[in-house]
Amino acid sequence: MKKMYFLLSLVLLGCKSNIPIVGEKTSKTVSESVENTYIVEQNEVSDFLKYLSSDELEGRETGTRGIEKAAVFLEDFFKKNNVKPYFSTYRDTLTNFKSPAYNIVGYLEGTDPELKKEFVVLSAHYDHIGLLKNKQNDMINNGANDDASGVTVVAEMAKYFAKTKSNKRSILFVFFAGEEKGLLGSKSLVQKLKDKDFNLYAQLNIEMVGVPMKRDYLAYITGFDKSNMAERINQYTGKNTIGFLPKEAEYELFYRSDNYSFYEVFKKPCQSISTFDFENFEFYHHPSDEFEVMDIPHITKFTQEFLPAIGIIVSSPTQEITMTK
């Protein structure tokens, strides 16, 4: 996540969600509406995240050989899981970076003749901040939480929909480069999509979900009051999945990740979902943000809990997620 060094020393007060858990009737409806036999495999989550945050990738700084290896890895993942490229290849070249750099973009066409004209974007940034300049024992900023964890979740979602073919709307799976340089990857891509008259319904951006919060909800959403996305997700999961984090509003995190580039252009529900609450992770932009400190069962649970909600978002007969302000 971009530019939050000054926030990490703050100690926050606990807060509770002001969205009630929906009742038994809604839960039953969700289970009837979404395939619920699919199991997210913890070992696959672990293997994916372990490589993406490994020393071999040298911190995945945009424009380096490390992020090039990450790009190849993500391209191979899409190929293996039969996710098609949206452009002529999976690589979407950034128009605003001095050396060659690429978003990795996959595409699943919707199954409904009309709804497939609408798109849901599921995204995360795969770049990080690379190597420390000063020599010390560990110079590699591996970026396991920021944001290899988010990429892992989006990859699992891509795997699910490619396998089940249950999406009536089309889905764009995007792994952004240049986020740490100023949201460059998303700013570049969104202009190309605008020029193609891209019909966006909503974007869900996954940002730093490697460790759980000690709260009565699973995750928070940025720009909580800008749409009814949080309310709808909770209705779709039948759980208290999304809550309100006051510090998110105080620090205006809505404007600090790749969701904002899409919102700025399309003015549609485009928000980031995170479990980094400034209390539960002390290694932001630090070499110790490594695979070994990630909570793999939590990431697996996070993905499993979100899949039913995403399933409804990409297939509901009408656009139920709407802007509120």
Model pLDDT, residue 14: 35
Interatomic CA distance for residues 167 and 165, integer angstroms: 6
The model's pLDDT over 88-101, given as tens digits with 9 standing for 90+, comes to 999 999 999 999 99
pLDDT-based confidence at 18, cuts 50/70/90?
very low
pLDDT-based confidence at 129, cuts 50/70/90?
very high
| Residue of 119, 170, 171, 179 lying closest to 148 (CA atoms) | 179
| Residue of 100, 113, 126, 115 lying closest to 314 (CA atoms) | 115
Which of residues 5 and 162 earns the better pLDDT score? 162
Sorted by where each begins, the domain ranges of the chain are 5-313
Is residue 243 a contact partner of residue 160, using CB atoms and an 8 Å limit? no
| Residue of 81, 57, 88, 83 lying closest to 70 (CA atoms) | 57
Interatomic CA distance for residues 103 and 90, integer angstroms: 8
The type of residue at 71 is A
Model pLDDT, residue 110: 98
Q: Which of 13-17, 116-120, 174-178, 213-217 has the lowest mean pLDDT?
A: 13-17
pLDDT-based confidence at 137, cuts 50/70/90?
confident
**308 contact partners, CB below 8 Å, separation of at least 6:** 30, 31, 33, 34, 36, 236, 237, 238
pLDDT-based confidence at 146, cuts 50/70/90?
very high
Domain 5-313, classified CATH 3.40.630.10, yes or no:
yes
Interatomic CA distance for residues 42 and 321, integer angstroms: 30
**Residue 30: is its pLDDT beyond 90?**
no
Model pLDDT, residue 36: 59
**142 contact partners, CB below 8 Å, separation of at least 6:** 53, 54, 55, 57, 59, 128, 148, 287, 289, 290, 291
**Residue 143: is its pLDDT beyond 80?**
yes
Interatomic CA distance for residues 244 and 221, integer angstroms: 7
Interatomic CA distance for residues 161 and 41, integer angstroms: 15
Interatomic CA distance for residues 195 and 164, integer angstroms: 31
pLDDT-based confidence at 325, cuts 50/70/90?
confident
**Residue 313: is its pLDDT beyond 60?**
yes
**Residue 173: is its pLDDT beyond 90?**
yes
Helix, strand, coil percentages (3-state) for the chain, rounded to 5, are 40, 15, 45
3-class state of residue 13 by DSSP: coil
Q: Which residues sit opposite 105 in a β-bridge? A: 174
**Residue 23: is its pLDDT beyond 70?**
no
Q: What angle do CA 243, 261, 106 make, to 5 degrees?
A: 90
Interatomic CA distance for residues 218 and 38, integer angstroms: 20
Interatomic CA distance for residues 214 and 141, integer angstroms: 26
Model pLDDT, residue 27: 37
Rg (CA), the chain: 18
Percent of the chain with pLDDT over 90: 86
pTM > 0.75: yes
**Residue 31: is its pLDDT beyond 60?**
no
**Residue 148: is its pLDDT beyond 80?**
yes
Sign of CA dihedral 224, 228, 229, 231: positive
pLDDT-based confidence at 1, cuts 50/70/90?
low
Model pLDDT, residue 2: 55
